[in-house]
Chain A
Amino acid sequence: MESKYIIEANHIGIKFKLSRFKKVTVRSFFNDLLKGSSTKQNKEFWAIKDVSFALEEGEILGVVGSNGSGKSTLLRIIAGVYEPDKGIIQVNGSVSPLLSLGTGFKQDLSGYENIFLNGVIMGFTRKEIKAQLQNIIDFAELKDFIYEPVKHYSSGMQARLGFSIAVHLKRDIMLIDEILGVGDFRFREKSQNKMKEIIKSGQTIIIVSHNLDSIRQYATKAIWINKGVLMESGDVNTVIDKYLAS
């Protein structure tokens, strides 16, 4: 199926069993057995009920909605972590996932080793990581510290390394949760500039942010999700104004 869109979602929905929050244990199993099986009621919860949108290459999509509206579930569907239970989503490209900066860092390993570990976790090959290795180290300004265990890093240094990995190892579609820079004042400016550079380079991006100003500034289109339902989509300012008015 040829499509002019890089992502096309058609009435997608995803449900979770509520009992997933209540894990089966020996005790619960016997309790249920005695009471006549209460976990069997299997309450379902549709985290995403009906969402459709399409994104062309080079577009920047802002996703707005209050906490618990289903934004991160939607991102996980786009990243391929979840399969939707209804509807169809077509992603014609690779997605670099939204790793909160530094997730998956092993504290006992050096920054250098963590670059590779983080990279392969995000689905890059050793070769792809090697090609960006020097850029990552240089941008993070870690110099010789790169061979020290990450546990000896300050929080600012860890954030710098995480940010540097995220912006250098990227795919066709980038998922990000904040445009804001990280680290001290100087590095924050540098990282913001880097983000702007990526945005201008024609990278397809999906931004989920509570900072509506940054979405207004950078996004080329926006969607507003509430309780798993698409409320509004299209022009950024219109969508955000309606979201704010709700």
Chain B
Amino acid sequence: MQFLVNELKELIRSYDLLKYLFLSDFKIRYQNKLLGFVWAILDPLFMMLIYIILVEVIFQRGGPQYPVLLFSALLPWRWFSLSTANSTKVLISNAKLIQTVKISTVTFPVNQVLLGLVNFLMGLVVLIPMLFIFDATININMLWAIPVIFTQFIFITGFALLVSFVGVYFRDLENILQFALKIGLYLSPALYDLTMIPEKYLNIYLWVNPFASLLNTYKNIFVRGLPPDNIFLIFVAYSVFLFLLGVYIFNKYQKNIAKDI
């Protein structure tokens, strides 16, 4: 586990760098634009509206809580897709800097994860009134959101480290990932409910797609007032594995990045 300690030390050493990278990107993205903050919320809202029209109006399905169930699953998915999509190119687009300054490359993908997290938290500002409007069960189990968000942070960080590293060597990754992320959303229980998966496929579905258990857990915590169940452990296992793998690979090969980029 020495690699974990090394990488953590490096992040602590680069605290100021990470802080200013984050603040600059945050300002450019939100503060300097007239609708900056509004865009962060409008985007998932529009996405939700399209699906509501499709499912509730056209297919006449969904049920009374469909909008809030959908939104509580779209938000964590967006965090994942934004952070990973941006991480694939983050090292390449900073190539010039990486080749001139001895800089902690790990801060670049971690910054993208944090930016995605902030985007997610802004989305919660919209989710909370929706919970009341759509009569969600609000109770103490909602506090489970904190460890669940933390676990997702671990998952996304591991994934972001991996894709940012692989992106240096495999330039098509960005295109492939964009495509995969689009399909990934439909393969995860955001638009539909986990209970709609046929029984005989349910087990394999849960094991193969970590987002099956994650999105279902978010729906349970926010809307149904239920704590995470055992299947959430699948997501925890994926998170720990991806995180360790991402950190290990970064720790071992980051000295090559400047040369190979």
Contacts and interface: CB of A to CB of B under 8 A. Distances in A.
Interface of B: 16-17, 19-21, 23-24, 27-28, 32, 96-103, 169-172, 176, 255, 258-260
Secondary structure of the A contact surface, majority rule: loop
Contact of B102 (A25, A79, A108, A125): A79
25 contacts: A16-B259, A20-B260, A23-B170, A24-B169, A24-B171, A76-B100, A76-B258, A79-B100, A79-B101, A80-B102, A81-B102, A81-B258, A97-B100, A99-B100, A103-B97, A108-B27, A113-B23, A113-B27, A117-B24, A120-B16, A120-B17, A120-B21, A123-B102, A125-B16, A149-B32
A87 B260 CA distance: 20
Contacts of B171: 23-25
Given A25-B172, A81-B258, A109-B27, A121 B99 contact: no
A20 B171 CA distance: 12
Of all A-B residue pairs in the complex, the 9 with the closest CB atoms, nearest first, are: A80-B102, A120-B17, A97-B101, A120-B20, A23-B171, A120-B16, A108-B28, A26-B172, A81-B258
Query: Looking at chain A, what size class is its interface with the partner chain?
Result: 20 to 34
A30 to B, nearest CB: 11
A2 to B, nearest CB: 23
Contacts of A106: 24, 28
A104 B94 CA distance: 9
A97 B98 CA distance: 11
A103 B100 contact: yes
B99 A81 contact: yes
A104 B259 contact: no
Contacts of A103: 96-97, 100
A85 to B, nearest CB: 9
Contacts of A117: 20-21, 24
Contacts of B21: 117, 120
A81 B260 contact: no
A116 interface: yes
Contacts of B28: 106, 108-109
Contacts of A104: 97
B144 to A, nearest CB: 36
A91 to B, nearest CB: 10
Nearest to B169: A24
Contacts of B23: 113
Contacts of B99: 76, 81
Given A26-B176, A81-B102, 8 more contacts: A25-B171, A79-B100, A81-B101, A109-B24, A109-B28, A113-B24, A120-B21, A124-B16
Nearest to A124: B16
Contacts of A207: none
